[in-house]
Amino acid sequence: MSSLRFTKDHEWVRQDGDTVTIGITDYAQEQMGDVVYVELPEVGRTVEQGKEAAVVESAKAASEVYAPVSGEVVAVNDALSGDPAQVNADAMGEGWFVKIRLSDPKQLDGLMDEAAYQAFVAEQH
């Protein structure tokens, strides 16, 4: 299985040491439709688990992207400012939103693994 973790708000988290990369899942971008704008936090900002970390707007709606974990923003995907459609093209890769230095790695334990997330999505239909 991959090292990915997932939230019930359809964010994914990939851990790399003491930092994590965060984005929205393929399921989320499919539900949203064409992404037209992404608002990212400033590098250096502290985000809190469960609170807004970014905003993504599509032709259908604007949605908050919640921080799956708490920590300090250490990088943002500036490419999304000029090409927000990357979220649709590669939500789980090049369409990542933010990298966060974990303040509490134990928070990852509360997130779903891929199998649990797939089961959760299946229940939504």
The string of pLDDT tens digits covering residues 84-108 is 999 999 999 999 999 999 999 999 9
Q: Residue 119: inside a domain, yes or no?
A: no
Q: Residue 49: inside a domain, yes or no?
A: yes
Domain with 100, as residue range(s), is: 4-106
Exposed / middle / buried, residue 26 (Cβ in 10 Å: 0-12, 13-18, 19+): middle
pLDDT given at position 124 = 83
How much of the chain, in percent, has pLDDT values that exceed 90? 94
CB of 65 closer than 8 Å to CB of 55 = yes
pLDDT given at position 80 = 97
* Interior angle at CA 69, CA 68 and CA 74, nearest 5: 110
pLDDT at 2 over 90: no
What CATH code is carried by the domain that includes residue 77?
Answer: 2.40.50.100
Q: How many domains does the chain have?
A: 1
Q: Residue 116: inside a domain, yes or no?
A: no
Q: Residue 21: inside a domain, yes or no?
A: yes
pLDDT given at position 31 = 94
The secondary structure of residue 41, as a DSSP letter, is P
pTM tops 0.75: yes
| Mean pLDDT of all residues in 24-50 | 96
Other CB atoms within 10 A of residue 47 CB: 22
Going 69 to 70 to 74 to 76, the CA torsion angle's sign is: positive
Q: Residue 113: inside a domain, yes or no?
A: no
Q: Residue 80: inside a domain, yes or no?
A: yes
Closest CA to 108 of 68, 73, 75, 74: 68
Is residue 1 very low, low, confident or very high in pLDDT (cuts 50, 70, 90)?
very low
Q: Residue 35: inside a domain, yes or no?
A: yes
